[in-house]
Amino acid sequence: MSAHSHKEIDFQIMWNRLIAVVGEQAQVLIRTAFSPIVRECEDISAGIFDLKGRMIAQAVTGTPGHVNSMAESVGHFLRHFPISTMKEGDAYITNDPWMGTGHLNDFVITTPAFHKGRLVGLFSCTSHLMDIGGLGNGPEATDVFMEGLSIPMLKLIDQGQVNETLMAMIRANTRLPVDTEGDTYSLAACNDVGVRALCDMMDEFRLDSLDPLADFIIERSRQAVLDKIAALPQGTWSHDMTIDGYNAPLTLKAKLTVGDDHVSVSYDGSPPAVGRGINVPMAYTRAYTVFGLACAISPDVPNNAGSLAPYHVEAPEGSVLNALRPAPVSSRHVIGQMLPDMVFGCLRTPLPDRVPAEGTSCLWNIAVRGQWLPKGATTPQTYALAITTNGGTGARPGLNGLSATAFPSGVHGTPVEIAEIQCPLLFWEKELRENSGGQGQTRGGDGQIMRIGTTQERPFELLAAFDRVDHPARGALGGHDGAAGRVETASGRKLAGKGLQVLEPDDVLVLMTPGGGGLGAV
């Protein structure tokens, strides 16, 4: 065996070990978080970066929206906090939607990793916090200032000393101060564990620097994607999709081009930003677009700066897919998570055997808020909870779609028992919505039916951010559309798919999540 081959094997072993390091980082975040959407649903990202801000490895858990936008956010941290100014024990924080992961409810924390007194890399992580003040995690705001506390690029920890002024500001601007503070420390702690695990790895392999390993990982991944692209037919294909929007439907437009050494997606022609919080910052648009491309073109290539580099994404400034500050963006997932379906629609002509029909795509999160009197309490307490639920995915070539499954997000559904502990809601029913998936040679996945009431003599608020109510997931290649979603009460009162609505104590909320589209004529 040549020395060159031996070195490559060593690098591959270290690469696998690095993935284990960020896996440990992610598990610490999940196990120490206060918010159920992190503990139970794993709505996070975790990764390691080199000193150029390039993502080397990411944890296998987490969501594409968090992971791929976090990959950009580290570059913003480096612009605000140059490498030369970083000290051991520092940590930096932001929830800026345009430099983070797209809305204020996600905190991003980046921590420099020192080994034997030398800065060798950066750890970064993200998680969704249940409440950050303002109007709450719904689409009601008309600008980002109404959506909650905005944290610019700030130093959270200075050489081991917590910025107590910042923490006091965070606690004072949320309805859930204990949870929000705990989640912030959880994020910082998981990075610290990542640093310690990295130091152990570097000691074991006698490394003084991560640079050679980073170069190997990034170049190998980039070349692997380039090889996949080279095997594709070249050309340009277009696709459009009409979704519910806020008060009026929106038609998204995409044009995908396969070149010699890249794949580009342009959303030119998509509508301008709207006056409510379903707009998407560009980083989140890129995150889900490149995820869709990777699913169809390079699903077996690890996700890092190298594998992302050949994919290019553009959207007109000021459009709903490239919203500019101060546009409201709290529910950016409603449109952003539709973008893999846009990519698949473009690729259906050149790669019909690789892409599914449209699915529910955007999460049907049941965001609720109110006052309640927990057992043993003497005064009412505030609750704010996002109960993660899903519809069906689109039918796949040769396989049916998945029922009640989050794609492209990948988060877990919130267990009923956890939701009922955290707030006064009571699930009277939660079952599959049979035959809601579209018919075809392969069927779309089924949605769910849920009937939800409250145990308290108090109303509760529903911060609805649902789609596929007026425009269901479409079938493809002759397959039938999936069933549309429905939002109503047991008494038959129709509720809006988006916006703040109050349910009285005797109301029972009925949700029917959409089905995925079918694929191929029956």
For residues 340 and 265, what is the distance between their CA atoms, to the nearest angstrom? Answer: 11
For residues 16 and 361, what is the distance between their CA atoms, to the nearest angstrom? Answer: 31
Sign of the torsion angle spanned by Cα atoms 440, 497, 453, 34: positive
Give the mean pLDDT of 370-393: 93
pLDDT reported for residue 288: 98
Q: What is the mean pLDDT of the chain?
A: 96
pLDDT reported for residue 6: 54
What are the pLDDT digits (tens) for 394-444? 999 999 999 999 999 999 999 999 999 999 999 999 999 999 999 999 999
Cβ(446)–Cβ(431) below 8 Å: no
What are the pLDDT digits (tens) for 19-70? 999 999 999 999 999 999 999 999 999 999 999 999 999 999 889 999 999 9
Task: Say whether the peptide bond before residue 397 is cis (omega within 30 degrees of 0).
Answer: no
pLDDT reported for residue 38: 95
Both tokens of 315, joined, read 């959207």
What are the pLDDT digits (tens) for 152-172? 999 999 999 999 999 999 999
What are the pLDDT digits (tens) for 337-348? 999 999 999 999
Res. 89: pLDDT tops 50: yes
What are the pLDDT digits (tens) for 457-476? 999 999 999 999 999 999 99
pLDDT reported for residue 522: 86
Cβ(102)–Cβ(332) below 8 Å: yes
What are the pLDDT digits (tens) for 104-143? 999 999 999 999 999 999 999 999 999 999 999 999 999 9
For residues 219 and 5, what is the distance between their CA atoms, to the nearest angstrom? Answer: 16
Phi, psi of 477 (to 5 degrees): 55, 40
pLDDT reported for residue 5: 60
Percent of the chain with pLDDT over 70: 99
pLDDT reported for residue 192: 98
Q: Helix, strand or coil for residue 242?
A: strand
Cβ(83)–Cβ(47) below 8 Å: no
What are the pLDDT digits (tens) for 272-298? 999 999 999 999 999 999 999 999 999
Confidence of residue 378 (pLDDT cuts 50, 70, 90): confident
Exposed, middle or buried, 157 (CB in 10 Å: 0-12/13-18/19+)? buried
What are the pLDDT digits (tens) for 292-323? 999 999 999 999 999 999 999 999 999 999 99
Task: State the pTM of this model.
Answer: 0.96
Percent of the chain with pLDDT over 90: 96
- Picking from 321, 394, 333, the residue whose alpha carbon sits closest to that of residue 364 is 333
For residues 101 and 97, what is the distance between their CA atoms, to the nearest angstrom? Answer: 6
pLDDT reported for residue 4: 56
Res. 2: pLDDT tops 70: no
Cα maximum dimension of the chain: 75
Task: Say whether the peptide bond before residue 326 is cis (omega within 30 degrees of 0).
Answer: yes
Res. 228: pLDDT tops 50: yes
Cβ(110)–Cβ(127) below 8 Å: no
Exposed, middle or buried, 79 (CB in 10 Å: 0-12/13-18/19+)? exposed
Cβ(123)–Cβ(113) below 8 Å: yes
Q: If you compute the radius of gyration of the chain from its CA atoms, what whole number of angstroms results?
A: 23
Both tokens of 184, joined, read 């912030």
Res. 1: pLDDT tops 50: no
Confidence of residue 7 (pLDDT cuts 50, 70, 90): confident
